[in-house]
Structures are given as C-alpha cells and as structure tokens.
C-alpha cells in the first residue's frame, strides 16, 4: 500500500492511494481512528488490513499542495551520517567502521512539496537525498533478520543541513534541526510494495543532477540500521530512521553549491517516490542575532 497524509478542511487525514486518486481512510471505513497514520502504526496489522480494500476503490485527485508530511508527527527522527563511502570521502573523512548517529526533532519535518525555508542564520544550506524508514511494530534488540517485521514502510527524505552550524562544533544537532528543514514524503510505501535493498537514489537542484547512487551502496543497510538503533533504544511506531546520503552534496563541490531562495530541490528514491521543494527566504528573522557561526558575539 501507499499511504499519504492529505490536508483537508477537517485537518490532515490519512488517505490510501487507490485505483484512481486517493481515498480518505476514515471516511471510507467509517472508523474515525483511521484518520491518523499514528493510530494505524500503533494498531498494526489489524488497521493495515482494514485499509487494504481501499486500494481497489475510486478516489479523488489530490494536488501537490495538499500533501502533508507523510509522517506528520514522528516521535523522533534517528539519523545515520556518513552512511555512503563516497560521501564520507568527499568530506575529508575516512570511511567509518561504526555508525555515526544523530537525532532530529519532530518540528524539523516538512511536507513533500511545501516551500522549504532557507534559515536566515546560514549561508550554507545544503541538500541530502535519503531513504527513510518508518517504524511500525518497533521494539528492542531487533535482529537484522527480523527488521522488516518492525518496519511499516519507507519514505523519501531530504536531510537539508545548515553546514556552517553543523561544522561549528563537534556535534551536529544544531545544523540538522532548523525548523521545517526535512521534507518527508510523498507517501509511506509499505514493505510488501517495494524492496529497498538496491534502488536508485538521486537529487536534482534546479533540474541538474547532483547526487546519483544506489541504496545497495549503504555501509549500514536498512535491516542493520534497525538492528543498530534498537541496540540502545526501543523503536516505537512512528519513529523515522533516515539512512544517510550519498556523495555529491553541495559543500563538497568546487566551488561549493548552496541552496538559495528561488531554487527547486528534488529528491527521488526509485519505487518510493519524489519530493520537490521550492526554497524561500525566512521572513522576520532578526538581523542582529548574535548566534551565527563565524560572527563576533
């Protein structure tokens, strides 16, 4: 199945991609609980089974502007850094022998086609094409062999990063958590719909291909990523794991390529979908804010 959260007059509601268009899950089944992706993820197989017949229905057409983040309110976003060898090398690092992990907050998510606000406090706003894992059953100590049982589906992610903030300290949190800086979508594609072990992944900036790789090049593959994170934390329904970006990011280019207002960034994962966001300037930011990398305080 392919599940999308769509903006409606009644608020964001879960929809199922149908034979044509999209079907409102709660409206079609008469179960108001099915208006929420989070409820479906927590309820598990019974809720998924209730949604499956909707794939054969006739739905309504939906414009890109109506799509909300495919995971509207993740409890957290667990991220792998440097998970493609080429990306590690282009940043002047050795290929890691241990996963490099960091966390994003829920307020950093954005819709798959929404305007992406370039933060006023960075001049080095960069793109990162990534495959995202949406946790379903979750759990602790999940072996790689059992990982698919814990996963609800997959999404496309742009882990947009303020590189100057990221590199101003030894920790990456600030540069990875600007509000609304991670578009997620367009749909949650369930595990029975796509095999993510070897898919093309790419990004385009203003129509020019910037990144092009395959998910088989990950240093830590999808099952191992679930196993790794569940080693130290209990994965819960609605958690998202971002699996890292391949080489070709803006900071590693000569000269560097940064995203600016007016640009359009597009990320595609074969079989999962494409997200596309137009860059806009941040309104109302103070011009004299002292916390800015490289600025005197």
Q: What is the pLDDT of residues 64-74, one digit of tens each?
A: 999 999 999 99
Residue 294: the pLDDT is: 84
* 296 has a pLDDT exceeding 80: no
* 179 has a pLDDT exceeding 80: yes
Q: The pTM is what?
A: 0.97
Residue 295: the pLDDT is: 80
Report how far residue 186's alpha carbon sits from residue 108's, in angstroms, rounded to the nearest whole number: 16
- Work out the average pLDDT over 102-120: 97
Q: What long-range pairs does 40-49 form, CB within 8 A, spacing at least 24?
A: 40/3, 40/14, 41/134, 41/135, 41/136, 41/152, 41/237, 41/238, 42/237, 42/238, 44/136, 44/137, 44/237, 48/1, 48/190
**Parallel, antiparallel, or unpaired for β 22-24 and 11-17?**
antiparallel
- Work out the average pLDDT over 203-214: 98
pLDDT band at 93 (very low <50, low <70, confident <90, very high): confident
* 124 has a pLDDT exceeding 90: yes
In the structure encoding, which two tokens stand for residue 61, read together?
């057409």
- Work out the average pLDDT over 154-182: 97
Residue 92 neighbours by CB distance under 10 Å = 7
- Work out the average pLDDT over 165-173: 94
- Work out the average pLDDT over 5-26: 97
- Work out the average pLDDT over 235-262: 98
Secondary structure class of 102 (helix, strand, coil): strand
């Amino acid at each position: 199945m392919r599940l999308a959260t769509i903006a409606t007059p009644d608020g964001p509601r879960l929809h199922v991609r149908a034979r044509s268009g999209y079907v409102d899950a709660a409206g079609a089944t008469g179960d108001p609980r099915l208006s929420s992706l989070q409820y479906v993820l927590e309820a598990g197989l019974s809720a998924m089974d209730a949604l499956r017949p909707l794939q054969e229905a006739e739905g309504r057409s939906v414009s890109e502007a109506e799509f909300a983040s495919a995971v509207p309110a993740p409890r957290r976003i667990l991220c792998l850094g440097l998970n493609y060898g080429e990306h590690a090398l282009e940043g002047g690092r050795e290929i890691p022998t241990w996963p490099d992990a960091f966390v994003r907050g829920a307020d950093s998510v954005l819709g798959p086609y929404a305007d992406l606000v370039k933060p006023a406090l960075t001049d080095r706003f960069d793109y990162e094409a990534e495959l995202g894992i949406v946790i379903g059953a979750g759990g602790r100590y999940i072996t790689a062999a059992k990982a698919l049982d814990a996963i609800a589906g997959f999404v496309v992610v742009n882990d947009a990063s303020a590189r100057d903030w990221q590199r101003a300290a030894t920790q990456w949190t600030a540069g990875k958590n600007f509000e609304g800086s991670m578009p997620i979508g367009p749909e949650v594609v369930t595990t029975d719909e796509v095999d993510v072990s070897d898919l093309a992944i790419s990004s385009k900036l203003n129509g020019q291909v910037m990144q092009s790789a395959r998910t088989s090049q990950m240093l830590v593959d999808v099952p191992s990523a679930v196993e790794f994170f569940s080693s130290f934390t209990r994965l819960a329904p609605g958690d998202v794991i971002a699996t890292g970006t391949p080489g070709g990011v803006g900071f590693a280019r000569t000269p560097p390529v940064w995203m600016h207002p007016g640009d359009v960034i597009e990320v595609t994962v074969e079989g999962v979908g494409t997200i596309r966001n137009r860059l806009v300037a941040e309104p109302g930011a103070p011009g004299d804010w002292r916390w800015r990398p490289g600025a005197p305080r």
